[in-house]
Chains A and B, each alone.
Chain A
């Protein structure tokens, strides 16, 4: 199959003797670890747990919406379902997922450091996440909340009879997990890079997480104070957001969205960072326009703070304000577009292989494009007037968050699974699962664009009967999507124990993390590396065992795959 001496052909490889997984034993060595790699795995388990919970609520929504007159749940219960789906997925799955799992695991390895700048704060971040999650779980068991994940006042602060307070406390606490992770990453990238690892030799994954961390640092404290004030209003009667006391619900919305819009960039920037690693590797070609992609990450982070009012176009704001924010919303699309063009340009003239991570990358490219373009529709005042608060918005953000961020997450998980576990996942089942996920995803969410455009409002437990066919399609798609998620959970777990031993660099890829053993040592590198090559430089790395000619043709050898 391959003439290249790749590390996973030839005689069977052995796992290294000493790794971060077996360096110490016992539950205390895991729960009191300061090793960023172990903390990443702790996050993997807890984030996956919350993903299941959020998925359960999604299932309830979609099952209920099979019929137009809502036979499954009462209106009140339905409100709780979509609220808990949103709260769980956003704060406990999407925001932590890539940074806390892949970012934690990989950033020290990618920059040549032994650990993050503040390993104990890293562990503290995880415990804060668990405590915040526990409060929110408590809220769920005591009846959940029905305010929507946006907690709009005065429903959330005065009138709601649901478990608002514990949920708000839970989200507040978890925010500090985010802040500390962002702080850790920023300081690490500034002070812990290995000799020769200059800023412009950093993998774009690191740039993406740097930009994400800037957003986490500047944005998350604002939601903290906003939720704090809302909690004060609910519990102690302070009155900033309560019209009966002279307060203003729109003030809450401004403060809330000031964080929650940048929060969506916290969710997508890391996924973009993953894609920036996958595409060069599986096109066997340097990323096109490295500097532009790095700058675009920072631009998204900065401009992302200037667009929040586009969530409030229908609140009666002045036309001038609306026009300004609409313009800025169009502006923030530009750096994302630059990245998308650059990823696509990287493919041109490359030697493309369709390993599972690349399938996820392709999925990302198409689905993020749809999501991003529909975001522009929503940023356009004339259109938003009609589709605001409809399923059009729901479809838009699911295309970005699921079609974009989750694809990036799964692609990254597959790509780095051999590094994390030392073992390869089964390639063919993985490819099938990726396709199942893609089909399921589109069947779930594309009909929702149609529904929204036809006028079906979101967050309603009933709908006009003529919309039923689209809702049934959407629910059918959701079941397929669920299978697409379950399959990797099963085979990745299996592969962690029984997969084919992968070796240092099964792909091969150019990052520093691939120069060390799989799984890595606790201290990552036996000797601190000295970096002399540029990022994604397939040419000047003879040790990768590639024979890469000029930019124009296909390589003289075909890449070897896992076990086909």
Chain B
């Protein structure tokens, strides 16, 4: 459907239409908060009960990759906001550029995530699939992507954690359930967001968005910022447990 600011039939004014779309997206984001909230609750309770396992699990994540992803997403929120600004001020050439940058940053995020996930599969850290948190320590030749110094430190940390919690392996599975559950859900939302961005990009190349009417850019922007904020929560919750030691 090619609408360039046309008024949909159920509305009286364009202003009413814009307000309605915006309120709709905000309420949808509230439902998303409740959705992620459930898994956050499961995470919180399990982290409290099995702190050592969660701390151990967190230490096996790469701060470099996670931190880069955080920077990438924050940057993508910036480019998205610039895209919305371009649409609002009629900068018709800049809008597709900022949307493309946002998409590009999103794909960088996916790429880094893929590397991280692949590593987990490789290192037997996927719940329900021969999960074994001691796999890399017991088979250092199988985990070439970790250097010897880190491996030694990890051995020390695992031994400490096992002293505190004899069922460390079982409980660490819960950490990884949270890891895959939360980041997987987040990634799924990003994929949807990327799809929406492609749709916006197509529209922007056709010049559909004007200062008078740019509602889709506005509300997809809201969605993208929300997805970014979820990651801002996930990063410290998953990557930064007990890191001050």
Measured between beta carbons, the chain B residues less than 8 angstroms from A179 are 31
Contact A255 B42 (CB under 8 A): yes
A247 to B9 Cα, complex, angstroms: 52
- Chain B residue nearest to A236 in the complex (CB): B128
A246 at the interface (CB under 8 A from B): yes
Binds B, one of A222-230, A351-359, A474-482: A222-230
Pairs across A and B, CB under 8 Å, 22 listed: A108-B10, A117-B10, A183-B24, A187-B20, A187-B24, A190-B23, A192-B10, A217-B27, A217-B30, A218-B34, A219-B34, A220-B31, A221-B34, A221-B35, A232-B181, A238-B127, A238-B177, A240-B177, A251-B45, A255-B38, A255-B42, A258-B38
- Determine if B24 and A118 form an interchain contact, defined as CB atoms under 8 angstroms apart: yes
Residue of A nearest to B30 (CB): A217
Write the chain B residue with the least CB distance to A176.
B31
Chain A residues in contact with chain B, CB under 8 A?
108, 113-119, 179, 183, 186-187, 190-192, 217-222, 224-226, 228-229, 232, 236-240, 244-248, 251, 255, 258, 523, 528
CB distance from A463 to the nearest CB of B (A): 37
Instruction: Decide yes or no: A239 and B23 within 8 Å by CB, A246-B50, A528-B12 being known contacts.
Output: no
Q: Which 3 A-B pairs have the closest CB atoms?
A: A237-B128, A225-B38, A221-B35
Given contact pairs A238-B128, A239-B127, A246-B170, A222 touches B42 in the complex (Cβ within 8 A):
no
Known interface pairs A236-B127, A239-B127. Does A217 touch B31 (Cβ–Cβ under 8 Å)?
A: yes
B31 touches A183 (CB 8 A): yes
Shortest Cβ distance from residue A20 to the other chain B in the assembled complex, whole angstroms: 13
Q: Indicate if the CB atoms of A119 and B10 lie closer than 8 Å.
A: yes
Known: A220-B31, A222-B38, A238-B177. A116 touches B10 (CB 8 A): yes
User: Could you say which interface size class chain B belongs to?
Assistant: 35 or more
Given contacts A238-B177, A246-B174, contact A229 B42 (CB under 8 A): yes
Known A-B contacts A238-B177, A239-B127, A245-B174; the reply to A114 vs B38 at CB < 8 A is no
Which residues of B sit under 8 angstroms from A247, Cβ to Cβ? 46, 174
Shortest Cβ distance from A5 into chain B, in angstroms? Answer: 35
Q: What residues of chain B lie closer than 8 Å to A187, measured between beta carbons?
A: 20, 23-24, 27
Q: Is the CB of B16 within 8 A of A245?
A: no
In angstroms, Cα B34 to Cα A228, docked, is 13
Of A113, A191, A220, which one neighbours B23 at CB under 8 angstroms? A191
Q: Which of B161-220 contact A (CB under 8 A)?
A: 167, 170-171, 173-174, 177-178, 180-181, 185
Given A238-B181, A239-B177, A247-B174, A191 and B16 contact (CB-CB distance below 8 Å): yes
Residue-by-residue, is B44-65 near A (CB-CB < 8 Å gives 1, otherwise 0)?
Answer: 0110001001000000000000
A292 → chain B closest CB, angstroms? 27
In the bound complex, CA of A183 to CA of B31 (Å): 9
- Given A116-B10, A240-B42: A245 in contact with B20 (beta carbons within 8 A): no
- Do residues B27 and A186 form an inter-chain contact, with CB atoms below 8 A? yes
Q: By the criterion CB–CB under 8 Å, are B10 and A113 in contact?
A: yes
Q: Shortest beta-carbon distance, B196 to chain A, in Å?
A: 15
B128 contacts which chain A residues (CB < 8 A)?
236-239
Judging by beta carbons under 8 Å apart, are B27 and A115 in contact?
no
A226 touches B38 (CB 8 A): yes
A222 near B34 with CB under 8 A, answer yes
Q: How far is the CA of A428 from the CA of B170 in the complex (A)?
A: 67
Task: Beyond A114-B10, A221-B32, A247-B46, list 20 extra A-B contacts (CB 8 Å).
Answer: A115-B9, A116-B10, A186-B23, A186-B27, A187-B20, A187-B27, A190-B23, A191-B20, A192-B16, A229-B42, A232-B181, A238-B177, A239-B127, A239-B173, A240-B42, A240-B178, A245-B174, A246-B173, A247-B174, A248-B45
The residues of A that contact B12 with a CB separation of less than 8 Å are 528
CB-based contact B27/A245 at 8 Å: no
Q: Which of B20, B36, B41 contacts A117 (CB 8 A)?
A: B20
In the complex, B121 has a CB within 8 A of chain A: no
- Tell me, in angstroms, the Cα distance from A219 to B30 when the chains sit together: 11
> In this assembly, does B39 line the interface, its C-beta being within 8 Å of a C-beta of chain A?
yes
**A237 is contacted by which of B23, B38, B42, B129 (Cβ under 8 Å)?**
B129
Kindly state the separation between the CA atoms of A236 and B39 in the bound complex, as whole angstroms: 16
Q: Which residues of A are found within 8 Å of B41, using beta-carbon distances?
A: 255
Given contacts A187-B20, A238-B177, A255-B42, contact A218 B129 (CB under 8 A): no
**CA–CA, A436 to B192, complex, Å?**
52
CB distance from B62 to the nearest CB of A (A): 22
Shortest Cβ distance from A195 into B: residue: B12
From A113, A229, A244, name the one whose CB has the most chain B CB atoms within 10 angstroms. A229
Given A237-B128, A238-B181, A239-B173, A221 contacting B38 (CB threshold 8 A): yes
Is B19 among interface residues, defined by CB-CB distance under 8 A?
yes
B43 to A, closest residue via Cβ: A240
- Report whether A192 and B20 are in contact in the complex, using a CB–CB cutoff of 8 Å: yes
B111 at the interface (CB under 8 A from A): no
CA A237 – CA B24 in complex, angstroms?
Answer: 36
Across-interface contacts of A221 in B (CB, < 8 A): 31-32, 34-35, 37-38
- For the complex formed, measure the closest distance between the CB of B56 and the CB atoms of chain A, giving whole angstroms: 13
Determine the chain B residues whose CB is within 8 A of the CB of A245 once the complex forms. 127, 170, 173-174
Contacting residues, chain B, for A237 (C-beta < 8 A): 127-129
Instruction: Find the B residue at minimum CB distance from A121.
Output: B24
Q: Is B28 an interface residue (CB 8 A)?
A: yes
Most chain B Cβ neighbours within 10 Å, of A117, A190, A258: A117
* CA distance in complex: A210, B112 (Å): 43
Distance A240 CA – B16 CA, assembled complex (angstroms): 45
A118: which B residues are within 8 A, CB to CB? 20, 24
Q: Complex formed: what's the CA distance from A226 to B181 in Å?
A: 12
B171 nearest in chain A by CB position: A246
| Residues of A with C-beta under 8 A to B180 | 238
B174 x A251 contact (CB < 8 A):
no
Chain B residue at minimum C-beta to C-beta distance from A117:
B20
Task: List the A side residues contacting B173 at CB < 8 Å.
Answer: 239, 245-246
